[in-house]
Amino acid sequence: MSSDQRLGVNLGERSYPVVIGSGLLQRLPQVDGIAGLLRGRRVFVATDETVGGLHGAALGEGLAEAGAKTIGRHAMAPGEAHKHLGSLAGYWDALLTAGVERGDLLVAFGGGVVGDVAGFAAATCLRGIDVLQVPTTLLAMVDSSVGGKTGIDHERGKNLIGAFHQPAGVVADLELLGTLSRRELLSGAAEMIKAAILGDPALFDLLEQAGSALLDDPTALAGAVQRAVALKARVVEGDERESGQRALLNLGHTAGHAVEVCAGYGNITHGEAVAMGIGFAAALSERLGRCPGGVARRVANLLEKFGYPLRGRGLPAEKVWEALRHDKKTRGGVPKWVLIRDIGEAEWGVEVPDEVVADLLSEVLV
Ligand code: GLY
C-alpha cells in the first residue's frame, strides 16, 4: 500500500490536489489526481541549472511514462539573486519558441525561486496557462509551492512584482530532498515549525518529540509535511489573496526578514532567519501578555532542538529596526506583527509600541 499523503486545496474552480510521498516521479502514471493532468498533455519544463542537472532526466522519464509530451525545457540560473525580470523573460522566450498553447501545462521544477518565477511565467504567458508545481526543496514543499503566490524581486524589495496563480496540482517527491544539504533541509523545517505554532499543536508535539531526526525518517517527514501543508491550505482557503488572515503565514517573517536583510542574503538561510523571527515573535507575545507564560521558552527550546541560532549576534539593533520599518508588511511605517496566543493559535495585524520592540530586539534578538 502506498504511504503517500494527499490533500486538496479547496478554492472552488481553482481547487487542486497536493500529493506528498517518496519516489513519486518514478510512478507519475499511478499518482491519483496528477496522472490525469499529464496524460496526453503537452508540457513545458521550467527548472534551474542545478535541479535540471541533478533530477531533470528523472522528471523527463516520469512525464513521458505518464503520457505527457515535452515540447520544451528551460533552466534559469539558480538562486535568489536570479529572481528577476531577466530570468522571467528567459522562460517567456523559451515558452514562445517552443510554440506553447493555452491548453499546455508548465511544470515548475525546483525550489522556491523556480516555483515563483516559473509560476509567474505561467500566470502571464498567453494571459495564463496551467502550472504543475513540483517542488524540490523542503521549503518549497511546505510553503511556497502551495497557495498560488508567484513573482519576482525588484531592486526595491523581494517579491514586489507578481500575481496570484494557483497551480493545477502539487507533487512533493521527498526522494528529491536527498541531494539537499542539512542546512537547506533545516531551512524548510522552520516553516513546519511555523505551521505548527499557527494552528497544529499536535504537529508541535511531534516536532518536539522527534527533533531534527524527523528529517531522516521519510514516513514521519511525509506526515509532518502533510500537516504543515494542510494548515497552509486552510489559511489560503479562508483568504486566497491575503486581504486578512493569510497574513498569519508571516509569523516569524517580520523580524526574520529584517535579520535576513541586515545579515546579507546568502550569509544566513531563510529558515534560520525565520526561526529567529519566530523566537522573537514568541518573546514579544509573552512580553505583551498575549500568550500564557512559558510559551516563549517552549518555542525557543524547540528551535534550539533543531539547532537554529536564536540570535543574529553582531548585527546592530538600529539597523535591524530600520529594516523592520521598511518591510513590505509595514503599513504607514508601522510594522504589523503576527503574535502567538498559544501553541496552535496566533493573531495577525497587531501594532506594538516601538519601545517594546526596540528593547526586546537588543535583549533577545541581536
Ligand atoms: N508564504 C506565505 C504565503 O504564501 O502567503
pLDDT score, position 86: 98
Residue nearest to atom 2 of ligand 1 (CA): 249
Q: Answer yes or no: are the C-beta atoms of 75 and 49 closer than 8 Å.
A: yes
* Statement: residue 128 has pLDDT above 80: yes
178 CA distance to ligand 1 middle (Å): 25
> Probe ligand 1: pick from 138, 139, 144, 329, max atoms within 8 Å of CB?
144
Is there a contact between 207 and 192 (Cβ–Cβ < 8 Å)? yes
Q: Are residues 104 and 231 in the same domain?
A: no
Q: Rounded mean pLDDT of 106-134?
A: 98
Looking at the structure, tell me whether residues 112 and 157 fall in a common domain: yes
Share of the chain above pLDDT 90, in %: 85
pLDDT at 2 over 80: no
* Among the listed residues 261, 244, 250, the one whose alpha carbon sits nearest the alpha carbon of residue 325: 261
All three cell numbers of 301, joined, read: 527550546
pLDDT digits (tens, 9 = 90+) for 293-304: 999 999 999 999
Name the maximum alpha-carbon separation found in the chain. Answer: 61
Q: Are residues 330 and 261 in the same domain?
A: yes
Choosing from 179, 210, 239, the residue where a domain stops is: 179
What pLDDT is stored for residue 328 in this prediction? 63
pLDDT value of position 240 = 98
326-359 residue pLDDT tens: 776 666 778 899 999 999 999 999 999 999 999 9
Number of domains in the chain: 2
Average pLDDT for 138-148: 98
Taking residues 12-35, what's their average pLDDT?
A: 97
pLDDT of residue 1: 47
Residue where one domain finishes, among candidates 158, 179, 200: 179
- Average model confidence (pLDDT) across the chain: 95
Same domain for 200 and 67: no
What lines the ligand 1 site, CB under 6 Å? 143, 147, 149, 242, 246, 249
Q: d(Cα 199, Cα 194) in Å, to the nearest integer? A: 9
User: How far apart are the C-alpha atoms of 344 and 195, rounded to whole Å?
Assistant: 8
Q: Phi and psi dihedrals of 317, rounded to 5?
A: -60, -35
The share of the chain scoring above pLDDT 70, in percent, equals 98
pLDDT band at 146 (very low <50, low <70, confident <90, very high): very high
pLDDT in tens, 154-198: 988 889 999 999 999 999 999 999 999 999 999 999 999 999 999
Question: How far is residue 255's CA from residue 194's CA, in Å, rounded to a whole number?
Answer: 14
Q: How far is the CA of 238 from the centre of ligand 1 (A)?
A: 13
Q: In this model, does residue 311 exceed pLDDT 50?
A: yes
Q: Which residue has the higher pLDDT, 279 or 335?
A: 279
Indicate the burial class of 258 (C-beta count within 10 angstroms; 0-12, 13-18, 19 or more): buried
Rounded CA-CA distance 99/119 in Å is 18
Alpha carbon of 106 to ligand 1 centroid (Å)? 21
Per the DSSP assignment, residues forming a β-bridge with 164 are 149
- Using the atom order of ligand 1, give the atom closest to the CA of residue 249: 2
| 209 and 288 within one domain | yes
Same domain for 145 and 192?
Answer: no
* Ligand 1 atom having least distance to the Cα of 143: 1
Closest residue to atom 3 of ligand 1, CA basis: 249
- The Å distance, Cα 249 to ligand 1 centre, comes to 6
Q: 236 C-alpha vs ligand 1 centroid, how far in Å?
A: 8
Residue 192: closest CA among 142, 256, 137: 142
Q: Which residue of 145, 149, 231 sits with most ligand 1 atoms within 8 Å of its CB, as the best mutation to test the pocket?
A: 149
Question: CATH no. for residue 168?
Answer: 3.40.50.1970
Q: At 301, which CATH number?
A: 1.20.1090.10
What is the C-alpha separation between 100 and 350, in angstroms, rounded? 45
Residues 6+ apart with CB under 8 A from 65: 28, 29
Residues 325 and 289 in one domain: yes
* Pair 198, 192: CB distance under 8 Å: no
Q: Say whether both 162 and 223 belong to one domain.
A: no
Q: Which atom, in ligand 1's list, is nearest to the CA of 149?
A: 4
Q: Is there a single domain that holds both residue 256 and residue 134? A: no
Side-chain-side CA neighbours of residue 19 (13 Å): 22
Query: What does 200-230 look like in DSSP terms, one character per residue?
Result: -HHHHHHHHHHGGGGGG-HHHHHHHHHHHHH
pLDDT on residue 11: 98
Residue 313: the pLDDT is 74
At 335 the pLDDT is 86
Q: Distance between CA 87 and CA 78 in Å, rounded?
A: 10
Domain that holds residue 248: 182-365
The length of the chain in residues reads: 366
What is the 115 CA–ligand 1 centroid distance (Å)?
13
Whether residues 168 and 315 share a domain: the answer is: no
Give the residue from 144, 179, 214 where a domain finishes: 179
- DSSP assignment of 38-82 equals HTT-EEEEEEEHHHHHHHHHHHHHHHHHTT-EEEEEEEEPPSGGG
> Do 241 and 335 belong to one domain?
yes
206 CA → ligand 1 middle, Å: 23
